[in-house]
Structure formats: structure tokens, C-alpha cells
Amino acid sequence: MDRTGQRHSGARLTRRGFLKGTAGATGLLAMGAGGKTWAVAEADWQAKVEAALPGRAAAVPKRPRKLLIFDLNVGYGGHGSIPTANYAFTRMGEKTGTFSTVVSRDPAVFAAESLKQFDAVFFNNNVGNLFVDPVLRQNLIDFVYGGGGLMGVHGTTVAFTRWTEGAAEDWPEFGIMLGARGANHRAADERVMIRLDDPGHPVVGPFGGKPFEYRDELFRYQQVYSRNRNRVLMSIDIDKSDLKQGKELGNCFREDGDYALAWVRQYGRGRVFHCTIAHNPSVFWDPKMLEFYLGATQFVLGDLAAPTTPSAKLTEAVRAQEKLGWRVALSPKTGEDWTLFEAIDRAAELGLLNVSAEYGMKVSNDLSVPFDSRLNDDQRRAIRLKLDAACARLLACRTGSLNNDPAEFHRTFDFLRKMGIETVIAKPTEKTENVASLSSEFGIHMIPEDSSAAAGAAPIHFIEVSKNTPKAELIAAVERINQLSIQQAQKGHL
């Protein structure tokens, strides 16, 4: 599909065809501070973007990557930076050879079969209720939670709201998945000093660990946003910035002074990035910002490895575990009457960020259904939101003896993938070839039931918890693995 919603053959759009469908539709870009407008001839801004494109990528692609750029607005005219961003991202992928793009504003692109061709979705400055079809919305959730990437910029924090009704919420989980809601701001050319909250993070590598001054329209998030949810990359340095520039549109004050501008997060297996710096077209012919956005794109596509532990959860031990590639997960003792929600709550009490489930265990006392492939969409959503509220991730699942029926195999692995699980702990089965094939298809790692740690790209250390174990013993067990991780990280051992 091209940007007008017309289907194309699936071949990559030519630059001429791309421009005709994007910037060519506007001819001029108009956007400015305080109602001012300026016009930049199409050829001029294209040349500016071309001159600013990064010469090389932050990471080597693991395989050919494809990015969906969705730029629909509903009930709002759209930011003037949209065609510039479409062009810049398309050309960055082409020039560096890191990804190809499809630009669309047709919601049909979110059909399940369509989404399969993409590694990540970039919601480019979308405002308004983009589509209400519950199937398409579920497809997007399944895509991200199952391991796809999600990128948003600026106006995307009011995507899937009823904009003409005061940005009334229409899909709460989208805001949770993205990491914030709202569009409160001051001047469209607000000048601030930007602090790097995580200067060593790979995504902010282009800034060299140093703060910098910038002008753009910067949103002040009041809803959903939290450092318990997001790994904040940069924010406004309130001690070095005038926070009262221009007219206040919406409540721009936070008691805690936390004005985040960009972050990453994990939603299930999905990689999420958002940045508010995208209001003005000039952002997308700024060399440093394009280099930053290229790294962010490679992160959501799955090629640039970068940690996503929420900022508020970053202890010395957690940073050590990130360095080592370890994850520590609570594993409820088999044979005891645990519910999944009880396990999640216990993990939160112990400060653990990961949980292992048991296939078929009761979800909760209120949701008295087994954790298996028969769960409906509402029940699965309840689990996702419970995990998000606890700042936990469902990392692994103990399945016991898998049913040898191929169809049931497929349903089970499809369910586990959509629930964000990356490791299955199972007993050996006669249908080993089926398990191996499905493990590869769904990207799920298999380990024997008697294993205490999962080998692989990021080993999992399980802490088995009995309901009868005194809390002091559990705290001591967590502290032992924390101290071990600190010691190993200091030694530089992997």
C-alpha cells in the first residue's frame, strides 16, 4: 500500500513514487511557533535531509528488516514534520542498507497476515482515533507483545484518542504500551537544556554522553508515564531551562520535575521507543537527531541490543545483570496451589522483574480459568495489565509433558509467544522434531525440565519459591544472586 491507502504490488516504492505520495501531496511544509508559519520548498528540504543522513549504522542487521511507517491522522490536520520524517526514515534505511520501509495510512495494513512482513511499526506523529476495529487493535498488541517493535514520536501519545472530544481516551492499552499519554506543551520552539539520563545507553550513543541544548515543541506527560514503566533516555534539565516559555497549553507542571523526552521499554517481548522531539520539520534534517533516530529504529527492529529495565528499578545488581546478560525470575514451586497473579505479586514484593508461569495454572482467584491457549482476548489483556502494573515480565513457562498432537503444539506455542514468553521448560517428548520446528517458528527457546538456568542469548536464573518459605529466606536468596551478579560483573566475566 502506498500512503494514500492504495495497494501496490509489494515492490519497494521508488524515491520518485514515494515523494509523489508523501511530500508531493503537500508541496510545502508549514509549521511554526505561536501560529507562525514558514514554507520550505520540497527540493530544499529533501536536500537538507540528504545532507544530514548518517553514513553508517549503529549495528549490523541480523537479517533483512522491514519497517512499517503509519502516518494517518483523524480529526487533526497532521504535523508538517510528517512527510519530512517519512522521507528521512526511508532514506536512512536505504543509505545504510539497514531496513526497507512501507509508508501507509490504510488501517488494513494491520491485518495479521500483513503485519507478519514487518519487524517494527513506526507511528509517525499520529493524532486521533486511527482505527476502532477490535481485531486490528488486537493484531497490533499481539505483534508487539510477541516480539515486534513499536516506535512513536511526538503526537503518537494521543493516537487512539478521540481528538475532537478533547483527546478522550479510546484505547488505554495503547498508551500503556507506548509509555505515556497526553500532548500538553508550551512554545513550539521551546529552548531547553537536555540531560542524558542514561548516557551510556546505546540508543543515545550519538550524543557522546554530553547534555545539549535544543529547540522544539516538547510534551509534558501527565498520564501513564512513569519511571517504573520506562527506561528514560533523556529529559529536560529543569535547573538549566526556562520552563515557562510561551503559552501553556494544558497542564505543563509536574510536582516531581520529571519531564522525560525519550525512552525505551519492553512490552512482553516487544521493543518500544518513543521521543517527543519531532514537532518541527527541521528535526529531521539535524544530523545528530537522525543518527539518534537511526539507532532507535535499529533497536525496535531488533538489531541494536539495548537494555530496557525501567529507570526506577536500576539497582547496582540489576545493572550488573544487564551487563552479564542475566535475567532473574521467580518460579512458583510445582505442585503447590499458586495462581499466576500470586506469583506476579510475590515477584514484585521481592523486587524481581521476571516471572515463570506453569501452563494450566489458575490465573487468579477472581479470574478462575487456567493459563492456557483457551484464554480469550479480555483474559489475556488482564494478564498483560497485571504484569505491567507490577513492573514484571512473564519470561518463561513450565509446560510439563507437551501434548503430541501437532495442532495442539501449534496452538500452545502461538499462545505462549503472544503472552511474551521466550523460554519453555518441558519434559522430553516423542515428537521432538515438532517441538524443534515450532521453537524455531515462534522464536521460543526450549530447555529440559530439570535445568536451573536457561542457556541462550540471555541466561535465566530461576529462584524457586514455595508458599511456605519464610520471606526472610526468599530475600536472602535474591540477595545471593544479586551479590553474585555484582561480583561477576566486576570481574568482567560473561
As a residue count, the chain comes to 494
Q: Which helix (H) or strand (E) segment is 406 a member of?
A: helix 406-418
Into how many domains does the chain fold?
2
61 and 169 co-located in one domain = yes
Q: Quote the CA–CA distance of 354 and 337 in Å, as a whole number.
A: 20
Q: Quote the CA–CA distance of 214 and 40 in Å, as a whole number.
A: 21
Q: Are 80 and 188 in contact (CB under 8 A)?
A: no
What CATH number does residue 375 fall under?
Answer: 3.20.20.150
- Quick: pLDDT tens for 73-90: 999 999 999 999 999 999
482 and 346 co-located in one domain = yes
Strand partners, 33: none
204 and 285 co-located in one domain = yes
For residue 433, the model assigns a pLDDT of 60
Q: Is residue 7 part of a domain?
A: no
Q: Are 454 and 460 in contact (CB under 8 A)?
A: yes
| Nearest of 302, 280, 312, 259 to residue 150 by alpha carbon | 302
Give pLDDT < 50 ranges for the chain: 1-39, 452-457, 494
For residue 187, the model assigns a pLDDT of 80
353 and 427 co-located in one domain = yes
| Nearest of 310, 152, 162, 305 to residue 233 by alpha carbon | 310
346 and 455 co-located in one domain = yes
**pTM (predicted TM-score):** 0.89
| Nearest of 104, 95, 25 to residue 69 by alpha carbon | 104
DSSP SS3 for 181 = strand
| Nearest of 232, 239, 192 to residue 212 by alpha carbon | 192
For residue 450, the model assigns a pLDDT of 65
Q: Is residue 169 part of a domain?
A: yes
Query: How buried is residue 135: exposed, middle or buried, by Cβ count under 10 Å (0-12/13-18/19+)?
Result: exposed
Q: Where is the domain boundary, 256, 272, 301?
A: 301
- The cell numbers describing 400, all together, are 510439563
Write the DSSP symbol of residue 249: B
- The cell numbers describing 106, all together, are 490504510
Q: Is residue 471 part of a domain?
A: yes
- Quick: pLDDT tens for 279-311: 999 999 999 999 999 999 999 999 999 999 999
Q: Quote the CA–CA distance of 360 and 371 in Å, as a whole number.
A: 5
Q: Identify the domain containing residue 360 by its residue range.
A: 315-491
Residue type, 337: D
Residue type, 459: P
Q: Is residue 281 part of a domain?
A: yes
Q: Quote the CA–CA distance of 476 and 20 in Å, as a whole number.
A: 63
Q: Are 275 and 244 in contact (CB under 8 A)?
A: no
Residue carrying the nine cell digits 519530512: 84
Count H helices and E strands in the chain, helices first: 13, 22
For residue 298, the model assigns a pLDDT of 99
Q: Where is the domain boundary, 301, 324, 353?
A: 301
Q: Is residue 308 part of a domain?
A: no
Strand partners, 195: 235
Q: Quote the CA–CA distance of 73 and 90 in Å, as a whole number.
A: 20
Q: Are 109 and 72 in contact (CB under 8 A)?
A: no
191 and 284 co-located in one domain = yes
Q: Are 98 and 57 in contact (CB under 8 A)?
A: yes
For residue 431, the model assigns a pLDDT of 57
For residue 35, the model assigns a pLDDT of 35
Q: Quote the CA–CA distance of 443 and 414 in Å, as a whole number.
A: 10
Range list of H helices, 2-76 = 15-21, 42-52
Q: Where is the domain boundary, 301, 335, 365?
A: 301
